[in-house]
Amino acid sequence: MLQQTPVARVLPVHQAWLDRWPSPAALAAEASGEAVRAWGRLGYPRRALRLHAAAVAIVADHGGVVPDSYDALRALPGVGDYTAAAVAAFAYRQRQVVLDTNVRRVLGRAVSGVEFPPRSVTKAERAVAEELLPADPPTAATWSVAVMELGALVCTADRPRCPTCPVVDRCAWHTAGRPAYDGPPRPVQTYAGTDRQCRGRLLAVLRDAPGSVPKSRLDAAWDIADQRERCLASLVADGLVVATGSGRYSLP
């Protein structure tokens, strides 16, 4: 849920989710559409589908227990490099290089002296993170969560709280006078009128309906017919929507 979504927005959904599905087996026993519905408006609903698929895989391949090896975690749907490392480190106290946007920003500033890290993870970043990671596994795990929290709470993207930072005296960026970011501009992420917005509107209709809906309900949710049809087809292809016959649609 936290992949590209602010913590504050995740918290209530996360709590309700665990109340309803306290184990991978509980989630795996549900229809995937229920996961999409419970996902609500967190965004990127394919994550809900992947989380459900991960629960199914955990039951099928790991006896219902979230695996503890990086490789097994990494093989689960929706679990990439960051999430596999984070679960192995935070849940199982392993020594893993956890490189999320917070850690990258902290190391970028403290070590490299730049306000923001590169667009994508570089080998140099990974080398710096590995170099700093303590050798002892549980100590490394604590280090990882600490650096991440430092980025989330103190070394924030905007308005960093340098006066309260425990490593301000050793921060290359602060020492250099907090120079402004001068790298390439980040591409603007348009949204209004995109397929993304159209898909979101269509899925919202199905999420808020108890069962299936006639296609006329979807037609009413987006004006541009060809875009609407393309998006509906892509939602079906993604497994987020199913055609139930007689021109009706529902969550899977």
Partner DNA sequence: CACACGTGGAC
Partner DNA sequence: TGTCCAAGTGT
Which member of 64, 78, 113, 252 binds DNA (CB under 7 A)?
A: 78
Give min distance, CB of 81 to DNA, in A.
5
Inter-CA distances, 185 with 35, 106, 117, Å:
36, 20, 12
Q: Looking at residues 161 to 200 of the shown chain, list those that interact with DNA (rule: CB under 7 A).
A: 186-189, 191, 194-197, 199-200
Instruction: State how far the Cα of 135 lies from the Cα of 29, in Å rounded to an integer.
Output: 40
Of positions 12, 20, 65, 119, contacts DNA by CB under 7 A:
119
Smaller CB separation from DNA, 32 or 102: 102
Report how far residue 238's alpha carbon sits from residue 252's, in angstroms, rounded to the nearest whole number: 11
Give the one residue of 30, 34, 68, 81 binding DNA; rule: CB under 7 A. Answer: 81
What is the number of residues in the chain? 252
Q: How far is the CB of 89 from DNA (least distance, A)?
A: 12
Asked if 80 and 74 count as a contact pair (C-beta separation under 8 A), the reply is yes
Query: CA gyration radius for the chain?
Result: 21
Told to check if 217 binds DNA by CB under 7 A, we report no
How would you class 62 by CB atoms within 10 Å of its CB: exposed for 0-12, middle for 13-18, buried for 19 or more? middle
Which of 51, 56, 100, 133 is close enough to bind DNA by CB under 7 A? 100
Q: Which is nearer to DNA, 59 or 147 (CB)?
A: 147
Our CB check for DNA shows the closer of 111 and 198 to be 198
Min dist CB 63 to DNA, Å, is: 21
Interaction of residue 142 with DNA, rule CB under 7 A: no
Q: Which of 88, 155, 165, 203 forms a contact with DNA (CB under 7 A)?
A: 203
Segment near DNA (CB under 7 A); pick from 64-72, 79-87, 107-115, 135-143:
79-87
Site string for DNA, 40-69 (x = CB under 7 A): -xxxxxx---x-------------------
Q: What is the binding site for DNA (CB under 7 A)?
A: 2-7, 9, 41-46, 50, 77-84, 100-102, 119-120, 148-149, 151-152, 157-159, 186-189, 191, 194-197, 199-201, 203-204, 234
